[in-house]
Copies of this chain bind each other. A is one copy, B any other.
Amino acid sequence: MLVALVKVLAVVRGRKRSGRRPGSPDTREEILDAARDAFAADGFERSSIRRIAAAAGVDPALIHHYFGTKDKLFLAAIEAPFDPGEMIPKVFKHGSTNLGEHLIRTFVGIWDSPTGNRAAAFLRSAVTHPRMSKLVQQFLTNQVIRKGLSQVNPELDNIDLRGAMVASQLLGLALTRYILKVQALVDLSADELAAIYGPTIDRYVTMDLKDLSTREGTQ
C-alpha cells in the first residue's frame, strides 16, 4: 500500500517535473508499443524501462506503476496468454516423472479453456508480424524454455535446443488442432493427446545429443 502510494507520488512528481504527457488511456498502449519496439530490436536483456519510457515520452515510474517489473511489462507487451512464472511450477510440481504427459495436459488445458482464444490470437500474431515473431521467440527461449528446463535438471546440456524441440511439437499441436482444426486431432481427449505426445516430449528432454553435435561439429 505504502509502496503503491510512493509510486503514484513519483508519477505525479515525474509529470510535473518533466512536463511529459499524463497517463491518458492511450498512454498505456503507447508504452506497450514502445516496449515491443525495444524488446524486438534489442532483446529482453538489453532493453531498459528507462529507455522504453523515453521512447514513449513518459516517466519510468509510470511504467513501474502500470506494469510492475520488466518481466511483467514484457508479458503485457506480447499479450502472453499465460504467465510462465505461474505456469511452470504447476507443470513441475510432480518433478520430472511423466514430465511430457504433465506438460501436454497443461498445454492442452490452456488451449481448451476460455484463454484458448487469446492463445490463438498470440500464435496468429507471432506468425504474421515479424516484430511479434522476434518477441515470441524471446518469450519461448528466455521465459519458458530456460526457466522450465532448468527445473527438470540444472545440469541438463543443450537447454536451448531441447526447449526448442519441445516447443516445435507443442506449437505444431496447437497449429494443427486449434488453428487448422484437423479433425482427427480435434477428436482426441487430453488423455489421448498426453499418451501420444508425452513420450515425444520426454525423449526431447532426455535424448543423448552428444552424438549429434560430434557428428556435425556444431554446438
Contact = CB atoms under 8 A, between A and B. Distances in A.
A36 to B, nearest CB: 16
Interface string A170-195: 11110111011111110111011001
Contacts of A136: 180
Contacts of A160: 183-184
Interface stretch (A19-27, A68-76, A86-94, A120-128): A120-128
Interface residues of A, number: 50
A218 interface: yes
A126 B180 contact: yes
B212 A195 contact: yes
A63 to B, nearest CB: 27
A46 to B, nearest CB: 16
Contacts of A187: 218
B168 A172 contact: yes
Contact of A216 (B164, B173, B192, B204): B192
Contacts of A176: 164, 167-168, 171
A5 to B, nearest CB: 41
A200 B158 CA distance: 19
Contacts of A182: 137, 140-141, 164, 167-168
What is the count of identical protomers in the complex?
A: 2
Nearest to A189: B216
A133 interface: yes
A203 B197 CA distance: 10
A189 B173 contact: no
Contacts of A173: 168, 172
A163 interface: yes
A113 to B, nearest CB: 20
A165 interface: yes
Contact of A180 (B140, B188, B192): B140
A164 B182 CA distance: 7
Which A-B residue pairs are the 3 nearest by beta carbons? A172-B172, A161-B184, A160-B184
